[in-house]
Structure 1
Amino acid sequence: MKNYGEQLKNGLRKYKRIIAAFIIVFISVVVELAANIQALRGGYDSLDISQNISIIEEGDKEKYRIEFKVKEGVYVQQIQLHGNFPKDVVYRVKTKEVNGFGKKEDGVYKDTVGPYFSEYSTNLGKKITWLRITMEKTEGMELTGITCSSSFEWNKYRMFFVIIVLGLFYCIFFEKKFLKRIEWYFAVFALTFGLLLIALAQPMCNSWDEQIHFKSAYILASGRTIQWTEAAQKIVDRTNFRCNTKAEFAQLRKYMDNKGKVIVREENRKSLLISYQYLAYLPMALFLGIGKLLKLPFSMLFAFGKVGNLVLYVFVMFWAIHLAKSKKLFLAFIAMMPTPLFQASSYTYDAVVFSFLTLGCVLWYREMLRGDGNCDFRMVIAAALLFVFGSFSKAIYIPIVLLLLLLPLFHKITKKQKLFLITGICLIFFAVMLTFTVPLISNILAGNYNYGGDSRGGDTSAVRQMISMLKHPWESVKLLIGNMISLDNFRNLGVPESANYFFGNLMLLSLGSMGTLGDKWCVVLLPVLTLLLLYEEPQEQKDCIHSLWRKIFIWGVFAVVILLIWLAMYLSFTPVGEMKIAGVQARYYLPLLYLGSLLVESIKMRVQISQVVVPKLTCISACILQAMAIWELAFMDRLVG
């Protein structure tokens, strides 16, 4: 009997991955069945209530009204409106609902129809006894039918989501190698969740200024002649209908695929040379180019371009985590947070800026830890290149390259070599900074007072703003300092919904226009961040920034970068002469987080916990926060009811 037990145990160990895969798939199927429990109990494909459509008059306007009653109550998963809708119109839904305890409650909802499709839908997911829909009747509008449905349907997005979450938890508890080599867990985590984010985003803009970044990548992927399809133009103009149900997204993909076959205009590029500012778009452009060669439908092409950004992010951050000699778990946790991964799964250069600068800081700190004056020049050159390429798209981060002046190698080289290296580092710094300042100065001298404004409009101009600052130097200093130490503007006031969130959530738990996780999730975020900052990891290299002047220098670099962030936002995105700075977002501080964690290395307080517990806690917390961000912001009220 004992031998049989041992054989069984050995068999389970041998086939544990196959067993785990079977269990995970089984649970995902059970979840789908549970989500469709009402359809299994008594579902129906279509309940036509079109006969209840009437037209009423309110003042000088005509309105459609649909009223439906059923004494026993009926479960309505979704409402569908059919017809011709020449322009966007909001319709309102009022209901009498029966909750799980049998009590009746009032429900109020609103949704939108528009000129894109002939059918629109609203997820309800309630048992109702009464329903009323009202909608203004505009010129040319014709509401031809209304149906309710509660049919069984497999939701592949939800199944993929459940499989990913359960698979990652399996890796945490049953694959010890992932905890010992956290960079591999990160790679699996980022690729799976990243691909899910790309699938959930659909062919529409969700990230910050995504239409601008897509345009740049699309141009690079087009060769000499740029053929703008109608679908690509709609993305650039950010005019797509905001869908909120799975059925509408299916129609949107079909709509964009059809528009992707129509060429609306062509333009020729003056040169095939790529400006340094656009190098960050190359991975996205490469995948877009491959997608074009494969003649992918536009919805797939749009998603495929994002995969290039995701693959580069995972590759760079994998090596950053792998090579980190200090704060490895902190770095992995940050890399797995919703906002950095969302940026990597969208059209943006922010993922390149964050990952390149972070890897550069990792390589710089490795060289700092040598301490004996020896140096791996390949690593130093790689760090310098990463700082430069990471700053090409946002020159405000280039002061970080000055950290190279602190390398221990300066203690062992001759004065001539030292002068040569210092001169080279400073030249790199000034060369990149000139890309930021020279256009501004030259346009001031040329009298081009409208240069450097926000491309989205408004009374903005970097030239006029700079002239205003030069005329009022004391007010400008007070403005910068006052806004930098004010957490209100740090939360990006000016966008009302952003003022309600803690800036840590905006920095790490935001999915752009999809929304931000609420402040309650600070209960998970802040304790884990604090723990990882103070936790002394096994084999962690000790603090090498021990001298006072080094600390002052690094804090100075840190402060200059922050100052440039605020200055850049005031010059380019704030109306001229305003007494506040608009546009500063918490995510701009992401490239500074790892450097900031190194600056607290000298704190005497340390947390020592089991070497197994902290990696598990790190992975579990990251998985919970990422899963909740996707579920609450990308799933609910969009792809599930």
Structure 2
Amino acid sequence: MRKNILRKNILLVIIVFFVSLLIEIFGFNYRYFFLNENQKGIIEICDSDIKTNNIIFDSGYIATNTQSSITIENSKSIDILRLKIILDKNSSAFEIRTQYPDTKKNERKINLADPLYNDQVFLKIDSKVHPTIELNFNEYLKNNLETSVHISRIEIDNQFYFDWSRFFLLFSILYVLLVLIFNFKYFILKLHITFLIIAIIFGINIVITMPTYFSFDEREHFVKAYQTASFDFGIEKNKEIYWPENIERFFSFNGISTSFDTTEERNNYYDLYKKNDYETKRYYDTTAKPYLPTAYVPAAIGIFLGKFLSLPFINVFYLGRLFNLIAYCLVISILIKQTLIGKRLIFLLGLLPGMLYLACSYSADPVTYSFSLATVTIFINMFYSNKITTKKLVLYLLASSIMITGKITYAPLALLFLILPNKNMPIIKKNISVFKNGFALKFLMLLVLGCVITVNTLYSSFNGLAQWVIEGVSVEGQINFIITHIFTYANICLNYVLKSLPSYFEGPIGNFAYSGTFSSGISYIVTFFMLVLAVVDNNELPKNMGIKNKIYLLFCVLLSWGLVITSLYITFTPVGSLTISGVQGRYFAPLLFPLLLLFKTNKIKNTFKEVHINGFVICLCTFLLLLLLFKLVSGYLV
């Protein structure tokens, strides 16, 4: 039996490999094989085929005013796969808006270029070539009157490109889908293994496909992770550490717009950062400075390992992302396996596209989110157990402490243990009466968590609570405003929460920072399904939590959210503002699981089989992640 399974999987690998190979070679590059031999390779465009308007000639083309444009009159005998525009080092960042509609298949039809980080621009021509292609610079130069665009030369790039990352994406996704289909009887009952496979494979592809700095504030979090990998834990002020020689160039771009629009631009971008020397000693500031290093340990391990192996810097960057993903996947897979209730909820919450996207980048959110799930999971395991072990209490303290050091605003979730039945708490000293009930043990746990919160607060205060330079922001002034206008502030919070409520679900489900978002319809459907799943998936529930306990759980959720918006009101919002700036849906993600637990009840019976519910959840999550990958691939790998 085992030999047959092994043979079947080996055959599956071979088939998927060759199918993916054929799609990459003859699918994405099919037009190359229809070119005549004299049309292949790099072809220079003749001067007679280029018409210019308000262009200065000086070792190339220089556009200086809003009327500047270049028109390429393509000869019908030359088929163009892509235009290759080489920039001069003196060129400023600029936008190219082409009149040719199929050059860029997205809503903006704009390619961005900056010689600081990418000195070549590729314009894909995806259908039959139009007789003329016009490049206009007026949109950029209109708003940047003192700049100019320098283009060294323009070529026709009709080379064959084999994209290894696109090939890996095809191979890995096809293989995973077929493995899950052919072995569904096994994987449908092993949700923790299924989660690990789906999250790792889809996650690796997101890690590779997502451009640098395309997650929220990734540049800031990368600096913090790199500092942690270099044993700079933020205790010493402005400590200098070793960076690559061209790190300034790497930091010149910060997620404002696309760093590359095509595979060719991305490969050119990678070539700029293939050095593996780390001899430039300097200090870089980061807005992530107030965070303790704990949330950056997984990424820091990847960075440290990459530097230890003398890998090229760009590989080190992606290795840090990969380790962040692996840590996220392992923690949630363990939770799915160990939880007494809510396996499918944790599976779904772990594979929410917005959160997996974050886990594939540099951010404090993946560690905070995964350990908030761990905190709540360990709590419900203890709550529904007849006997609570010391080991579970220690794990609870560890998980909640890591969550707090990630973001202190979720500290109220760490107080869930207060409603654990005292009779089920372990006795730590049999011969001392005060230790024969749970009160003393809970008090000790409060002391431990209090110490964690104190250390976190002191560290954040030492490194500065407000790192963003925003006019009108004053931590002290905002605190005084809240204290002296407590009812006004309560009204501000209430109005803001009611106005922005849908975004709390849209963020973790379908917000991908600079890569765009899912439609609101998708987010509403997934939100509705999460609520339904919380209600009907109750066959494993041994007892109801009780109204008093649920009220306390809701109180912890509301208190945590109140602290989140208050922290942003203090550190990110001008004093006395009637709205709250900087709040994003992803900040609500750690509160989703405890919120959904409020809807769990064993009073509603269902006749759904476990395999059917599991199958639907797996299919839904896989479909959503396929949509995300398609969104990324269509933007960055075609």
Pairwise TM-score range, normalised by the shorter structure: 0.7 to 0.9
The alpha-carbon deviation at position 465 of structure 1 amounts to: 0.8
> Does the alignment pair 1:246 with 2:263?
yes
1:321 shift after superposition = 0.6
Residue 19 of structure 1 aligns with which residue? 11
Cα shift readout 1:546-569 (whole Å, capped 9, x = no counterpart): 2x2212211111111111111111
Alignment CA distance shift 1:599-1:294 (3 Å): same
Q: Show CA shifts across 1:193-216 (max 9, x none).
A: 2222222235x2122122222112
Shift of 1:480: 1.2
Quickly say closer, same or farther: Cα 1:365–1:45, change in 2 above 3 A. Answer: same
**What amino acid is aligned across from residue 272 of structure 2 in structure 1?**
Y
Alpha-carbon shift at residue 537 of structure 1 (Å): 6.2
Deviation at residue 12 of structure 1 after TM alignment: 6.7
The alpha-carbon deviation at position 28 of structure 1 amounts to 1.4
C-alpha separation between the residues in 1 aligned to 2:6 and 2:252? 55
Which of 268, 282, 301 is the equivalent residue of 1:266?
282
Q: CA deviation at 1:581?
A: 0.6
* Change beyond 3 A, Cα 1:119–1:213: closer
Secondary structure at the counterpart of residue 151 of structure 2: strand
Query: Matched residue pairs, number?
Result: 595
| CA drift at 1:38 | 2.1
| Correspondences of 1:478-489 after superposition (within 5 Å) | 478-487=491-500
Query: How far has the Cα of 1:524 moved from its partner?
Result: 5.7
Structure 1: 5+ residue runs without aligned partners? 1-8, 99-104, 444-449, 492-502
TM (normalized to structure 2)?
0.84
The partner residue of 1:158 within 163, 166, 169 is 166
Cα gap change, 1:60 to 1:196, in 2 (>3 Å): closer
**Contact 2:506 2:524 (C-alpha < 8 Å) held by counterparts:** no
Question: How many Å apart are 1:411 and its aligned residue?
Answer: 5.8
Please list, as runs of the form range in 1=range in 2, the aligned pairs for 1:383-402 lying within 5 A after superposition. Answer: 383-402=396-415
**Maintained 8 Å contact 1:55/1:63:** no
CA distance, structure 2, for counterparts of residue 235 and residue 142 of structure 1: 21
Structure 1 residues 559 and 242, CA gap change in structure 2 (3 angstroms):
same
Per-residue CA distance 1:443-492 (angstroms, 9 max, x = gap): 9xxxxxx963242544322221111222222211111122122226x63x
The letter of the residue matching 2:229 is A
Instruction: Map Cα deviations across residues 517-569 of structure 1 (whole Å, 9 max, x no partner).
Output: 2234347634542443234366x2333402x2212211111111111111111
Counterpart Cα distance in 2 of 1:97 and 1:484: 42
CA contact (8 A) 2:87 2:150 kept: yes
Q: Cα distance, 1:326 vs. partner?
A: 1.2
Distance 1:556 1:143, change over 3 A: closer
Shift of 1:15: 2.3
Matches within 5 A, 1:52-63: 52-57=49-54, 61=65
Q: How far apart in 2 are the matches of 1:394 and 1:419?
A: 27
The 1:23/1:456 distance shift into structure 2, 3 A limit, reads: farther
State the Cα distance separating 1:508 from its structure 2 match.
Answer: 1.7
| Alignment equivalent of 2:303, drawn from 285, 288, 291 | 288
Q: Which structure carries more strand by proportion?
A: 1
Partner Cα distance (1:321, 1:389) in 2: 19
2:362 paired residue number: 347
Moved more, 135-144 or 349-358: 135-144
In the TM superposition, what whole-angstrom CA distance separates every residue of 1:88-111 from its partner, at most 9, and x where no partner exists?
12222112779xxxxxx9x99332
Larger mean Cα displacement after TM superposition, 74-83 or 301-310? 74-83
Q: Distance in 1 between matches of 2:606 and 2:569?
A: 40
Contact 2:353 2:625 in 1 (8 A): yes
d(CA) in 1 for partners of 2:93 and 2:64? 20
C-alpha displacement at 1:113, in angstroms? 2.9
Q: Deviations over 1:228-257 (max 9, x none)?
A: 334444555645872211111112111123
Structure 1 344/118 Cα, relative in aligned 2: closer, same or farther at 3 Å? closer
Verify: 1:301 aligned to 2:316, yes or no: yes
Counterpart residue number, 2:619: 620
- Provide the residue aligned with 1:5 in structure 2: none
Mapped partners of 1:410, 1:74: distance in 2: 83
Gaps of 5+ in 2: 56-62, 233-239, 428-432
Match of 2:566 in 1: 567
Q: Which residue of 1 aligns with 2:114?
A: 114
Q: Does structure 2 conserve the Cα–Cα contact (< 8 Å) formed by 1:217 and 1:281?
A: yes
Q: TM-score, normalised by structure 1?
A: 0.84
Q: 2:391 aligns with which of 351, 372, 378?
A: 378
Alignment match of 1:95 (pick from 91, 100, 120): 100
- Matched residue SS, 1:61: coil
Which stretch shows the higher mean deviation, 421-430 or 61-70? 61-70
| 2:210 partner letter | A
Residue matched to 2:522: 521
- 8 Å Cα contact 1:90-1:110 kept in structure 2: yes
**CA separation of 1:295 and 1:71: change in aligned 2, threshold 3 A:** closer
The answer to whether the aligner puts 1:583 opposite 2:582 as a matched pair is yes
The alignment yields a C-alpha RMSD, in angstroms, of: 3.4
Contact 1:344 1:351 in 2 (8 A): yes
Mapped contact 2:531–2:596 kept (Cα < 8 A): no
* Distance (Å, rounded) in 2 between the aligned partners of 1:331 and 1:156: 33
Which of the numbers 24, 38, 52 marks the counterpart of 2:31? 38
Q: How much identity, in percent, do the aligned residues show?
A: 19
On the 8 A contact 2:82/2:157 being kept in 1, the answer is yes
Relative to structure 1, the CA distance from residue 170 to residue 409 in structure 2 (aligned partners, 3 Å threshold; closer, same or farther) is farther
> 1:239 and 1:418, CA in 2 relative to 1: closer, same or farther beyond 3 A?
closer
Query: Within the alignment, does 1:187 sit opposite 2:196 as a pair?
Result: yes
SS at match of 1:120: strand
Aligned counterparts of 1:214 and 1:131: Cα–Cα separation in 2 = 39
Quote how far apart the aligned CAs of 1:428 are: 3.8
- Asked if the contact 2:20–2:171 (Cα under 8 Å) also holds between the matched residues in 1, the reply is yes
